[in-house]
């Protein structure tokens, strides 16, 4: 079975600063990895996903993530955040035969001016 | 993203009531999901339907009863709930298969009193 650990429950940053949201996964088989974002009072929206190929994945809104198989990590990064990036971010995993995603507990990103 | 629509957005019900949550997807997908989102906990997968057949039921109490009459509609029937069942219930859909993006609705906020 797979599991996901998001290492930080809250990350406060100032506007225009870089940010990294950390995600580690546990699985005995090959996996697919996802980052979703949830803005207040909304559902989840896909930011990016890793299926195969290049380990650096670029997503929407300037976010990117790097798949590191040896570290079993899939950290999300953005070089310069905006106030509008304030939201809850979820890392998720499924195996190559999976029917659904398994999510981490989420990281609250708070961007202030 | 208005591809997955959930109604009602807010529901307050007593422990002896019977109510239903409705979900409709306009994306032509063949798989639909119910997730439960509680504060400080990971999103919990409740039910998965693929081609209108239930393929996964993660030990959900029988007071929650799903129904998938066709590939576009999904219901969650609620009966004799407990206060701890108060949460955000998220419906989602995807084109079934590992690695495919799951699209979420905005959720139904349920309060059990």
* pLDDT one-digit tens code per residue, B9-68: 999 999 888 999 999 999 999 999 999 999 878 889 999 998 878 877 778 999 999 999
| Angle B77-B83-B88 from CA coordinates, rounded to 5° | 60
* Interchain proximity A101–B40, CB inside 8 Å: no
> 10 Å Cβ neighbour count for B25?
23
Distance, in angstroms, between B82 CA and closest chain A CA?
Answer: 23
Nearest to A100 among B1, B33, B40 (CB): B33
Between CA A110 and CA B8 the distance in angstroms is: 29
Between positions 42 and 61 of B, the ones with CB within 8 A of A are: 42-43, 45, 48, 50, 55-56
Nearest to B1 among A45, A51, A96 (CB): A45
> 10 Å Cβ neighbour count for B110?
21
For B52-110, the pLDDT digits (tens) are: 788 777 789 999 999 999 999 999 999 999 999 999 999 999 997 778 899 999 999 99
In terms of average pLDDT, the best of A16-20, A95-99, B96-100 is A16-20
Between CA B31 and CA B48 the distance in angstroms is: 7
Q: What is the mean pLDDT of residues A17-25?
A: 97
């Amino acid at each position: 079975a797979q599991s996901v650990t998001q290492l930080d429950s809250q990350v406060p940053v100032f506007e225009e600063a870089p940010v990294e949201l950390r995600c580690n996964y546990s699985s005995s088989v090959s996996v697919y990895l996802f980052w979703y974002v949830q803005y207040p009072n909304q559902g989840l929206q896909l930011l990016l996903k890793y299926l195969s190929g290049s380990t650096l994945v670029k997503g929407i809104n300037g976010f990117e993530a790097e798949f590191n198989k040896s570290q079993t990590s899939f950290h999300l990064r953005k070089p310069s955040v905006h106030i509008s990036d304030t939201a809850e971010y979820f890392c998720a995993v499924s195996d190559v035969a999976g029917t659904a995603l398994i999510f981490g507990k989420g990281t609250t990103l708070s961007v202030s001016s | 993203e208005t591809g997955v629509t959930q109604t009602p957005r807010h529901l307050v019900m007593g422990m002896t009531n019977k109510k239903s949550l409705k979900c409709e997807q306009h994306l032509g997908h063949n798989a639909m999901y119910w997730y439960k989102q509680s504060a400080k906990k990971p999103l919990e997968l409740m039910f998965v339907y693929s081609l209108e057949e239930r393929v996964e039921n993660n030990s959900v109490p029988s007071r929650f009863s799903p129904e998938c009459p066709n590939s576009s509609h999904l219901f969650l029937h609620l009966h004799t709930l407990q206060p701890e069942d108060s949460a955000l219930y998220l419906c989602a859909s995807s084109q079934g298969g590992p690695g495919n993006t799951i699209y979420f609705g905005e959720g139904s906020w349920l309060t059990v009193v």
